[in-house]
Chains A and B, each alone.
Chain A
């Protein structure tokens, strides 16, 4: 038996999702989401803890902001006369941000502190167990939760700085078929599950040019998520069970650095326009590696090439306030894929994304804002090939993400 058997089987197990460039979930802050994920320049609410910690110093009062979303992704794969759809699933990322000036409203302090708990990367994709790509992936599910205690300092009315320490927790599940048939002709299967930890930081500066224009810079560091006690479980024909021992595995997934410049423009009181440009350092994701504690001839360590390239994402959003109680938001995003043509994998069939967003914010009385938003993502059909596994076809992704959030001043 050749070692290749399992390199083939497990080569593609990977951490990823399908709904934002690479496996990044750009679903932070419901109001910012409704504006195409812009929010580095202006302080809308406590969600700025994620978008730009510097902006937190501009919160007048203590605020808690909570939002929940439901991602409903749909991927289609077509090759020749074969077509497969991913199974319908709903994922529910959430975000909680709490922050405000030390001393509260009356102090008008220069220092603000806060914490964000949010899900920056994640979700999943599930295919039919017998689909044509089953030896590469059947299911992937990834969840990350970041906790970010943050401090922000206002040097002057024009200039502020903020930084947060990021602790990331993740869990992952990967399933695929193993190309060894038992006496009844059934495929073997492999499942990897694990939890991972990582750390990093999120820092930014904000500069208020005048009443009309504000500028923000934000840098979120790379966060390497480590797993050293993942569980690898295999089910194969009994005569080969010793070759596929249930064992532990180690792996590391680099969640990329993101640098953003954002500008906010308020030509008149009711209308706000925002634009953000993200640089995403995807090139850190060069390969996916699994180091099994117990290797056999058939179960060797895996190194599957990914070779992502860095990308720039362009975001535009607007907010129009009809009156102090009701505002609407719109946004658009161009999010090019970090995945090169020869590395399009069925667990993350990434493609250039066009995103449209919209939302409505309602303030029933002072101190409470309820916001509903929706994001719609579509890709052009992409002819992709994953040369490493010789798996090619045309993919298209559509995803819809409704969300709702509330922020409360206190």
Chain B
């Protein structure tokens, strides 16, 4: 009846009641998106919440890109998907209710307790390839030239992700790239490697070498990759990607000290009562140390400081982990016991990280210019996320849990975070190739889930 009244009234008006706005017709511009290959690390694989699992892989930024590319002639995009969502090899983190060491119950990341549905994931699925997504969690740019990498990845503390889908794990990751290029003949690619060449140093508290030296082509985990080897490796991968005339996009390395892993615990996070402050002022009488009632700078280990300890500076970082949270709360860390150096990034170490990031990013920018490829300055983009951005009414920033962009490991992204990245890549691609690929609807993807 309502409908009938409506229709009659429309007829009476001699004109349609419904607006008829035209949607834009997306175009591929000067690029061909029919066969897309993504090369990268954990971010490319869709790693999140400290693990790899199927729904995360399905929300990897390359898969989001492939979905958008399909609007302009893109084809199938095959990923080495895991069979389930438990997390591989270990349980993913989820938000749950946890009672901490001090007996306080609150919302915090806990291990997923659901059924283990990723059994058998160590078996090779290479025969079902070739795969369009070559993202391998933990891989560094310099690892692409390392023989037998997939077999020895566990030496780095990485799981056997590469071994799972590499055609020949005994060869170099670079050979796997060559193999994929030969089989798929990509018309378009994305390359996002290099973050792990500096991240391992930072997450281990800057205790490695900066830069490290390659031993038989292998840089020790915890070292910063030497720039010459980085460039050689990066260029080798890229030369193979463009060898068939493919167009593509290069994504640079974000400032990793801006991610929640480093920014969640504030340097001035030591809360003291007046009694505690007085006690410390009497019992830790080292030069420069001073405690007041309220917020104070944590005490950290520093071999070069008198007494082997000092208070942290406001531009230094404490690395987030459940171990350190408990130790601060209940073990006197940062107060009566200095926070061990492997849990902090001091100013010198931060400088090493920044210098390496700048140098690696110059290599990436030079390569983009040389090959006339699209270039995504994700490093700059991250700064806009730090100050906070809005997308269709939703706030995103780099805050842990509340910021919506980073997953529960504080390093990798939520599906919505990956969609924001995909949209930056689309923006750069459209600008370089004159295409008009529509951005993904970020809010259509999942954010953090609250119990």
List A residues at the B interface (Cβ < 8 Å): 1-2, 4-5, 7-9, 11-12, 70, 72, 74-76, 78, 80-83, 85, 88, 90, 132-136, 179-185, 236-240, 374, 376, 378, 381, 388-391, 394, 396-400, 402
Contacts and interface: CB of A to CB of B under 8 A. Distances in A.
Contacts of B389: 390
Contacts of B443: 132, 134-135, 179
Contacts of A7: 395
A378 B389 CA distance: 34
B21 A76 contact: yes
B429 to A, nearest CB: 15
A70 B17 CA distance: 14
Contacts of A1: 399, 401-402
Contacts of A179: 393-395, 404, 443, 447
Contact of A390 (B9, B97, B390, B446): B390
Interface of B: 2-3, 5-6, 9-10, 12-13, 15-24, 26, 71, 95, 97, 107, 388-395, 397, 399, 401-404, 438-439, 441, 443-444, 446-451
A376 B401 CA distance: 49
A72 B6 contact: yes
Q: 4 tightest CB-CB pairs across the interface, nearest first?
A: A396-B19, A135-B393, A237-B450, A80-B438
B446 A181 contact: yes
Given A90-B2, A180-B450, 17 more contacts: A1-B399, A4-B395, A5-B402, A8-B390, A8-B394, A9-B393, A70-B9, A74-B17, A80-B23, A88-B6, A90-B5, A240-B450, A378-B19, A391-B392, A391-B393, A396-B19, A398-B15
Contacts of B19: 74-76, 85, 378, 381, 396-398
Nearest to B393: A135
Contacts of B95: 239
Given A1-B402, A76-B19, A81 B393 contact: no
A76 B20 contact: yes
Contacts of B441: 82, 132
Given A1-B402, A8-B390, A8-B395, A83 B21 contact: yes
Residue from B388, B395, B402, B444 having most chain A Cβ neighbours under 10 A:
B395
14 contacts: A74-B17, A74-B19, A81-B23, A81-B71, A82-B23, A134-B443, A179-B404, A183-B449, A239-B450, A240-B107, A376-B15, A381-B21, A390-B389, A400-B17
A398 B6 CA distance: 13
Nearest to A386: B393
Contacts of A74: 17-19
Contacts of B447: 179-181
B387 to A, nearest CB: 11
A74 B19 CA distance: 7
A interface, over-half SS: mixed
Contacts of B15: 376, 378, 398
B23 A132 contact: no
A402 B12 contact: yes
B24 A81 contact: yes
Nearest to A80: B438
B439 A2 contact: no
Contacts of A78: 21-23
Contacts of B401: 1
B12 A374 contact: yes
Nearest to A12: B393
Contact of B402 (A2, A72, A399): A2
Contacts of A381: 19, 21
A45 B2 CA distance: 31
A302 B265 CA distance: 29
A397 to B, nearest CB: 7
A181 B399 contact: no
B397 A376 contact: no
A9 B402 CA distance: 14
Contact of A2 (B22, B395, B450): B395
B13 A183 contact: no
Residue from B2, B23, B448 having most chain A Cβ neighbours under 10 A:
B23
Contacts of B13: 374, 376, 400
A400 B394 contact: no
Contact of B394 (A135, A378, A388, A397): A135
Residue from B3, B15, B393 having most chain A Cβ neighbours under 10 A:
B393
B392 A133 contact: yes
A72 B7 CA distance: 11
A63 B66 CA distance: 69
A390 B388 CA distance: 12
Nearest to A238: B451
A88 B2 contact: yes
Contacts of B399: 1-2
A100 B296 CA distance: 78
Residue from B12, B13, B446, B449 having most chain A Cβ neighbours under 10 A:
B13
A211 to B, nearest CB: 36
A286 B286 CA distance: 56
Nearest to A75: B19
Nearest to B2: A90
A400 B21 contact: no
Nearest to A130: B444
A85 B18 contact: yes
A88 B10 CA distance: 13
Given A80-B438, A80-B439, A390-B392, A239 B6 contact: no
A389 B390 CA distance: 6
A83 B451 contact: no
A393 to B, nearest CB: 9
A329 to B, nearest CB: 15
A68 to B, nearest CB: 13
A11 B392 CA distance: 12
